């Protein structure tokens, strides 16, 4: 899924935990690699991205599916109702609990038919251990995580990339198809039209291995 609002990724994953890489080193690298992006960094100010803590990959992806194509307030209300369907589960809904929940109850909580199918597929894959746990994910490279997560119905590359950035704190993620990234790129590099994702990716080669820093500043520029 590509967010339609520039700040959609930031609004979805409002953080409460520290990132997992040295932001001073990352900022220095990005500044030195691209003077135009350095000017954006100066205009936006300090890098203050934080992670949103999660106990499980399942819980993070369940929340992501619920939030897709909804504003934050509406999505939060629906997610709370879905969570209330498993009142005895500490720390939020579990995969087993979702599998025991009927389609009608999930629909009654506010999920669309497509999202009901998606959360049930996610739950089945979590129970069958077809998606990595948080501990396992920390020992996997980015591409391997994206490959496994996108096997879940309703989880596209964008959602997997948001998981990498805002849940795992990976330092080198650039979601080139994201509307906010492309709009921020147009602002930062004075483009009259939205750039092609290939153009963003090409410029992004300068920012490796800290493209996450650039992504965050491009989202801020789009806001």
Q: Which residues pair with 17 in a beta bridge?
A: 51
**pLDDT digit string (tens) for 110-119?**
999 999 999 9
Which CA distances in Å does 23 have to 11, 27, 28, 184?
21, 6, 8, 20
Place of tokens 């990959």: 57
Angle at CA 142, nearest 5°, toward 141 and 145? 90
Domain limits of the chain? 8-51+172-222, 57-167
Read off the pLDDT of each residue in 178-187 and give the average, rounded to a whole number.
96
The b/e string for 162-187 (b: 16+ C-beta within 10 A; e otherwise) is bbbbbbbbbbbbbbbebbbbbbbbbb
Is residue 12's pLDDT more than 50? no
pLDDT digits (tens, 9 = 90+) for 26-84: 999 999 999 999 999 999 999 988 888 888 999 999 999 999 988 889 999 999 999 99
Tell me, which fold does domain 57-167 have in CATH?
Endonuclease III; domain 1 (1.10.340)
- 171-189 mean pLDDT: 96
**57-167 has the same fold as 8-51+172-222:** no
Contact 213, 171 (CB under 8 A): yes
Can you give the C-alpha Rg of the chain in angstroms? 18
Cα 33 from chain centroid (whole Å): 25
> Is the domain defined by 8-51+172-222 classed in CATH 1.10.1670.40?
yes
| Backbone region of residue 155 per phi and psi (left: phi > 0; alpha: psi in -120 to 50; beta: other values) | beta
CA distances from 36 to 32, 39, 93, 179, 192 (A): 10, 5, 45, 20, 16
pTM above 0.85, yes or no: yes
Residue 55 · residue 19 · CB < 8 Å: no
């Amino acid at each position: 899924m590509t967010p339609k609002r520039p700040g959609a990724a930031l609004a979805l994953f409002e953080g409460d935990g520290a990132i997992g890489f040295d932001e001073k080193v990352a900022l220095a690298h990005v500044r030195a690699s691209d003077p135009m992006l350095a000017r954006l960094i100066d205009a936006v100010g300090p890098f203050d991205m934080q992670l949103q803590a999660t106990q499980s990959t399942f819980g993070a992806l369940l929340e992501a599916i619920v939030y897709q194509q909804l504003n934050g307030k509406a999505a939060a209300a629906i997610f709370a109702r879905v969570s209330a369907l498993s009142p005895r589960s500490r720390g939020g809904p579990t995969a087993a609990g979702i599998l025991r929940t009927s389609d009608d109850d999930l629909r009654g909580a506010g999920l669309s038919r497509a999202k009901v199918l998606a959360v049930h597929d996610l739950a089945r894959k979590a129970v069958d251990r077809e998606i990595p746990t948080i501990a396992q994910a920390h020992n996997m490279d980015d591409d391997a995580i994206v490959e496994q997560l996108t096997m879940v119905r309703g989880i596209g590359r964008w959602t997997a990339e948001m998981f990498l950035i805002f849940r795992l704190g990976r330092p080198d993620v650039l979601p080139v198809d994201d509307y906010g990234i492309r709009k921020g790129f147009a602002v930062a590099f004075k483009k009259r039209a939205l750039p092609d994702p290939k153009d963003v990716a090409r410029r992004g080669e300068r920012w490796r291995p800290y493209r996450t820093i650039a992504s965050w500043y491009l989202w801020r520029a789009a806001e």
